[in-house]
Structure formats: C-alpha cells, structure tokens
Amino acid sequence: MDNHKLHISQSEWEKIEDFLFGKLATDEINAIEKQIETDTIFAQKVNEVKSVILAVQEFSLVEKTEQWHNELHETPIIPIQRKHSESYIRYISIASALLILIVCAWWWLLPSKEEKLFADFYQPDPGLPTVMSLSENYEFEKAMVDYKSENYAEALTSWEKLLTENPESDTLLFFIGSSLLAQKKAKASIPYFEKVISDEKSIFRSESYWYLGLALLKENQTDKAKKVIQLSNHDRKQDILKKL
C-alpha cells in the first residue's frame, strides 16, 4: 500500500468488489478489464480491494488453523491406573465374564442365511457424478460427496433437508434410501425405495427393486424379497435368486 491512501468511494469499492466476486454482467466485466489496462490508478484500486478482501479472510483463516492444529494434538484421556493387585483381580473377573458373553453371543448371533446373502450381494450404489459448480445444486452435490466418502449419516441429513422442499424427487428418495441401507437401516430404507418404484418414470426404478429386495432380505422377508428382486435388472439378479 502506498504512503498516500487512494480514495476509493463506496460505490467504486462495491463495483470493484462485484467485479472480483464475478457478480457483473459480461459487458461490465469487459469495461472494467479495459479500465484496468488503461488506467494505472484504477488498476491500483482494484489491487487494493483485492488485498483487503484476501487479508480479512486470511486473518480469519489463520485463527481457524490454530484451532484445527490444536485438534490434531488432542489425545484421548487415559484413566489413572489402579494398584496392580486390585486391578489384576478386576481384569480377570471382567475377562471371564466377557468370555462367557462372547461364547453365548457367538451361538445366538450367528448370521442367518438371509443376512449372509445380504452381506455377499450388497454393494452401496456408487452415487452420481458430481462436478461442483456455482449452482443451486451445491447442497445436493456436497451431500453426494459425503455419500461417496461413506459419510452416510451426513449425506442423509442434507438430503432429508432438501426432501422437505422437493418431497417427490425420486433422486432424493433413492439416495436417502441408499444412505439408510448403507448404514444397515434396512427397515427404514424400505418406504423410500417403495416410493421410487411407485414412480413409473423414475430412472432409479430398477436399482430400487434391487435394493428394496436386499433390504427385505435383511429383514428376513425372503418371499417378498424374491418377488421384488425378480423385477430388477441387476446383473447379479440370477445369482442371488438361485441361492434364495
């Protein structure tokens, strides 16, 4: 910054700011670009507005990086160890109880045939391609990035919010169902896939039959699952039907 402050009026500042934020129409952009080339003082003003905008943001960002850095070094709290003899007896008792519990649970929790099939055949839907743009679909696409990063709960929250504005959107319904199923919430996912299937024009119909079938299978509704899977065009359809 020069020793003498350049005078930039409020309207001029706001115009330059709109230019830098890409809010102007093409002819206005062209006019400003031309002025930058021909008018050195104006070019300096643009540089100054740019610097101020960057500096304010950087100041905030520096504060944020301090916070994030502290989080990097947060360590879990380790409980203070008791005296050896006392803790030894306690550990032995806990370990024995746990062992008994594990053996019982093993017997009771052996996966059913349906659960095994679900595990063998279920692959989360890969999601839609997203090329982030300055569009109103940003929220949707951001959630899609979460979904693809396996942050299903976060994707679900965003899409549920969007669904309140577009309750009939088959895309939202399908991906809400998919996010639920990916979190093993088969029962909760069922009505979403059913609703997509009820939309005859939906491009997600075939996939919805497949995932609805798998959700039903996970819920031990094998007969219904067979009928639904039969209606899908999934390439592993015949394999699973043979095993059902």
Partner 1 sequence: MYDTASYLIYAIKNNDEKALKSFYKRNFKKVETYILHNNGTQEDAKDIYQEAFISVWRNVQTDKFAAQGESSLDGYLYRIAQNKWLDHLRSSSRKNHFIQQDEVHILSSEPENIIEQKNELERMIAQLKSSFLELGQNCKELLTGFYYEKKALKTIAAQFGWTEATAKNNKYRCLQKLRDIVNNKTNGQS
131 binds partner 1 (CB under 8 A): yes
51 binds partner 1 (CB under 8 A): yes
Among 64-72, 76-84, 184-192, 195-203, the segment contacting partner 1 (CB under 8 A): 64-72
25 binds partner 1 (CB under 8 A): no
The CA distance from 230 to 225, in Å, is 8
36 binds partner 1 (CB under 8 A): no
- DSSP structure string for 64-129: HHHHHHHHHT--PPPPPP--HHHHHHHHHHHHHHHHHHHHHHHHHTPPPHHHHHHHHH--------
Among 31, 43, 61, 97, interactor with partner 1 by CB under 8 A: 61
Contacts for 48 with CB less than 8 Å, ≥ 6 apart: 1, 6, 8
Touching partner 1, residues 175-204 (CB under 8 A)? none
74 binds partner 1 (CB under 8 A): no
Among 148, 224, 226, 234, interactor with partner 1 by CB under 8 A: 148
Contacts for 50 with CB less than 8 Å, ≥ 6 apart: 20
Applying CB under 8 A, which residues contact partner 1? 1-5, 10, 13-14, 47-48, 50-62, 64-65, 68-69, 71-72, 127, 129-134, 138, 141-142, 144-145, 148
